[in-house]
Structures are given as C-alpha cells and as structure tokens.
Chain A
Amino acid sequence: MIDIILKDMWSPIAFILVLVLTALVAYMFYSLGNPAYKRTKHKGEPFISGNAPPKDVRLIHVGGDNVFWGFTHALRKYLDPLVKGHTGILNDYVYWMVITMALVLIYVYILI
C-alpha cells in the first residue's frame, strides 16, 4: 500500500528535479530581459497612489493583525465566541476536562 501511495504517486526527488528545471526555465526567460535596465533607488518601494512613501520604514510594513484582517473579520461570528471560550481561567480548564469525561463515559457506556 505504501509503495502505491508514496513510490508511485509521490517522489520528492522527482518533485525537486521538476522545481530545479522550472527554475532553470524561469532563469532563461529572465536572462532574455533588457540588459540595459539599471536598478534605481526607488525599486522595491511601495506605490501608494502616487504619494511619496513614508520615510519611517515601520509605516511601510503592513503586518500583525492587519494580515488576513478581512478573513478573520468575516468569520467573527464564529471566531469571537471561540476566543471568548478560552478564558485563561484554570477552573474552566478543569470544567472542560470533567465535562468531556462525563460525555466520553456516556458515549463509551452506550456505544462501546
């Protein structure tokens, strides 16, 4: 079974060879580019609707909670109660263990 799944379906060595080949093809296209192009000091700076980028680099980097904000905001009705349930209170941790034990006891008694 393993032979079928891993040997016939998945070969990491072949995958890496394909990656290397792809990189070589990409490099070939890259090397076809304009050789007269020169890097400028503005390369890599963010484009903010034509406004000059801020000098403070901390204002350029959008990170932390802003990443995936839209995704987590859209899921807030699911995520907020979940976060609220994680109270950090030790009593609650024990409650959850005892409640789970009771449920598992019922499950095991009835079904197993």
Chain B
Amino acid sequence: MSLDLVNASPAFILGIPLLFAFLTPLADRISKELRDAVFMIGLLLTVLFVAVMSYEVFTAEGWAYVFGAEETGEITRFSFFRIMFVADGFAALATITVAITALGAGIYSFAFMEGQSGMEKFYTLFLLTLAGVNGMILTADLFNLFVWFEVTSIASCGLVAFINYKGKSVEAALKYMFISVIGGLFLLLSIGLLYGEYGILNYFAIAESVNGGVVDRVALSIILVVLAMKASSVPMHMWAPDVYTESPGAVTPFIAITSLGSLFVLFRILFVVFRYSVSTAALGGLLIILGLLSMFVGVSMALKQSDVKRLIAYLSVSQIGYMLLAVGVGFSTLENGDYATFGALALEGGFFHMINDGVYKALLFLSAAAIVYSTGTRNLNKLGGLAHRMPYTTMFFLIGGLSIAGIPPLSGFSSKLLIYKSIYLYHPILAIIALVVSIITFALIGKVFYNAFLGPDLGLSKGEVPTTMLLAMGILTAVVVVFSLFPNYVVAEIVVPAVEALGVTA
C-alpha cells in the first residue's frame, strides 16, 4: 500500500461506505447475492481503512488530511479554510469502536433481516449511517460536522422505521427524526454564531480565536446540550429507549453507536475548541452533573422495565453517565495540579469505558434481538428457560451482561476500576454513587438472565438463532474477551494515544 493511500485513509473511511451505499441498489438489480456481497465488501473495506489509519496513528503519528490540498497531508495557511479531517489517537479510538460495532451489526443483519423486502434500501441506510458517524468523528470543520450530523440522523431514522410493527417503529423514528432535526437546527445556530464572530469553521482556527465572550458561551452551551442530547444524556435521554426498543434488533447497536459517536465529538470540541477559553473546572463540573444524572436516572428507570430491549436501553443511558462523569473529572483538573495525580487516569478510564461500552452494549442488544428472533417476544414476564434451547446466546448475553455490570475479570471492570480510583480522589461520594449504580446494574443483568434464560423450558424458543447471527455475537464476544484479558495493552496502545491526541499531558 502506498504512502498516499495511508495518508488518505480518513477520506476512504468515509468515501467507501458512501460509494457502496449507492452501489448496493444497483447490485440488487442484478442479484440479491451480489447485493449482499457488495454490502459486505463495503463494510469490510471500511473496517480495513480504519485499521490502516489506526495502525499508522499508533505506530507513527497522527496527521490532518485536508481535502483539496495540492499534496496529501500538506498543511498550508489555506488549510483552515478547507475541510480538514483529523487522523489521531482519539479518532482511531472512536472509529475502531464504530467499526467493531458496524461489523457485528452488519453480519448479524444477513439472517435477521432475511425475508424483509427493500433490503437494498436497508444496506444503503446502514452504510450512510456508518459514513455519517465516521464523518462526525473525523472532521475538524464545524459546518462539515453539521452535514454529517444530519446524514447520520436521516439515515438512522430510516433504519429505525425499517420494520414496521403496528406503527410503533414509525412512531419511534418520528420522535428520533424530530428531536434530531431540532438538535441539528440548534447546532447550526451555534455554528452560525461562531462563524459570524470569527469567519472560520475549523476547530483549531476557532480555538485560537475564542476568548470566552458572550457569543462563545452561547455557542458552547448549545453545542454541549445538542451533542449531550444526541448521546442520550439525562434529562434529554427520553428518545433513546423508544428508539432502541422499536428499531430492528440487528441495527439497534448501530443506532446506539451514533450516540457514542456524538459523545466522542462533544469531547473533541470541548478539548480542542473551548479548553483554553473557559474555566475547565466549572465546565468539568457540568459534565459531572450530567454524568451523575444519567447514571442514576438510567439505572433507576431500568428497574421498572419488563421489556428486555427497553431495560438494556436504560442501562445504556446509565453507562453514558460513567463516561461523562470520568471525562468531566479529567476535564475539571486540566488547570490545576490534580491532572497528573488523577485527572489523566479519569480520562483514560472514561475513554477506555467508551470503547468497552460500544462493544458490550452491541453484544447485549444483539443477544436481546436473538431472544426476540427466537421467541417473538421481548416481555420478561413471558420469557424463561431459553438456556435449554439457546446455549450460545445465553453465553454471549452472560459475557456482555457481566461486562456492563463491571464484574471481574471482564473488560467493563477494568475501565470502571480506573474510573472508581480517579473519581474517588476527586471526591469519594462520586465513587460511592458509581459503585451503587454498578451494583444495581449487576442486579438488573441478573434479573434479565434469570427471567429469560434460567428456569424450566417454557417451549417459547424455536431453537438457536442462525449461524451468521451467532458469528456476529461471537465476534463481539471475542473482542470483549480480548479487552478483558489484556486491558494493559488496550490502555497503553489505544486509550493513552487518544488522551494525548487531545493535547493534554501529565
């Protein structure tokens, strides 16, 4: 592979899913097998370029890819006026998370969506969502961010409504579309404010200009709230359980990853654009408040759920809280000596938890989809004894569930250990709250596991799900196991470069 191809890999990470998104309907006109093959090739090529970009970032150094530059990788004074993509440790961490989830959801879709009409549209929407999330993560241009935000929202709304059952998925998609449009318009307003003030849209150029004035503060507030809403942070989380519950099971983790993508973008903007113009202690405090609310409200609402997907959706909201809390603690220490003591550790814990959460949450949603596929119900009051006929799904759910609950030796424990340790040093009460939320999460996973999988065989299940669905869950399980067994390696090679990419050093 030539050097230019490596340097242009951020562009390929977007270009390939965009190209293949529109190739799949054409391939469908020839044969369904070709359509499926084209979709899979597009997905695998995207994953390959994520791997190429990440390998280059981890072994050499990050770079900025400027569209339209005369030479690839060249940064001139005009670069800030062009669309710039950033390939650094943070982008690598985020795109790896998205790629793993997309691969799992994509493979899972083959069997899960079999028999559905209009599958060429499904694959188009899937690949457009993938391009949109990666675009949001990679771009360093505010207006370009808005474009990818809209692409992601529109495509994922289509995915949510793809299988219509009694109008419920359409209702969920409508809610998602409406809240995303409102959020998108607010985002555009904040971008307009910054552009009107400084006449530029590049993150790094704006970072040199912002001075903490009224316009900056209004723009910061709007961007923070919109991206926190998209990340399903409490109290703007209510769309998420509706959407995660009613979307087709195969794409639920993929919809959830768009939320995680928004969180990545929020952290990138806070660290790169606003870090030097605001009080990081106060802004970190705001993230901590949102994090605590998300953790506690998410897990509390999960207690009252008897729908397996809705319960996991609320646990997902709760996990977003851990990331906001950890990064909030890290961000709040940037201006004082505590960063070296525990701030860096909090950021590492938060970012490690993001990649862990992306993977085990996908595994849990796919396991829940397998339950629905095999039994036709999501109702925990009706389920029971599935382990008799679905042993592999039982094992996959158990691994994902123990990981989200932070039970050793699984990956969720490693990242939560870093978070507990660091936030304890910030304030012990935060660590106590985080521990309590973890214990309730464990109890809830126990509830689902006991309800759905244990007990006598009630004869609900048609048997184990098809092989491709097991393969998808198996891949995600393998990733969870690798992250569980080698947390030091993951932190040192993937997470620490992500922290350093945001320009913070101990």
Contact = CB atoms under 8 A, between A and B. Distances in A.
A63 B448 CA distance: 9
Interface in A68-89: 68, 71-72, 75, 78-79, 82-83, 86, 88
A23 to B, nearest CB: 14
Contacts of A88: 238, 242
Given A15-B409, A86-B238, A101 B221 contact: yes
Contacts of B484: 12
A67 B241 CA distance: 21
A104 B286 contact: yes
Contacts of A82: 297, 300-301, 304
A90 interface: yes
A26 interface: no
Contacts of A64: 306, 379-383, 451
Contacts, number: 160
A42 interface: no
B218 interface: yes
A1 interface: yes
B457 interface: yes
Interface string B327-356: 000000000000000001100100000000
Contacts of B225: 97, 100-101, 104
A61 B455 contact: yes
A60 B456 contact: yes
Size band of the B side of the interface?
A: 35 or more
B303 A12 contact: no
A71 B447 CA distance: 12
A2 B409 contact: no
Contact of A2 (B220, B239, B348, B385): B348
A82 B488 CA distance: 39
Nearest to B218: A105
A108 B221 contact: yes
B442 to A, nearest CB: 12
Contacts of A90: 174-175, 178-179
Contacts of B345: 1-2, 5
A52 interface: no
A13 interface: yes
A93 B179 CA distance: 7
Interface stretch (B5-13, B122-130, B413-421, B463-471): B413-421
Contact of B303 (A61, A79, A100): A79
Interface in A1-19: 1-3, 5-7, 9-10, 12-13, 15-16, 19
A97 B183 contact: yes
A97 B236 contact: yes
Contacts of A83: 301, 304
Contact of A79 (B182, B304, B382, B485): B304
Contact of A5 (B235, B418, B506): B418
Interface of A: 1-3, 5-7, 9-10, 12-13, 15-16, 19, 57-58, 60-61, 63-65, 67-68, 71-72, 75, 78-79, 82-83, 86, 88, 90, 92-94, 96-97, 99-101, 104-105, 107-109, 111-112
Interface of B: 174-175, 178-179, 182-183, 186, 212, 214, 217-218, 220-222, 224-225, 228-229, 235-236, 238-239, 241-242, 278-279, 282-283, 285-286, 297, 300-301, 303-304, 306, 344-345, 348, 379-385, 408-409, 413-414, 417-418, 421, 443, 447, 450-451, 455-458, 484-488, 491-492, 496, 506
15 contacts: A1-B345, A10-B414, A15-B409, A57-B455, A64-B380, A68-B447, A75-B303, A94-B178, A94-B179, A97-B179, A107-B286, A108-B286, A111-B279, A112-B217, A112-B279
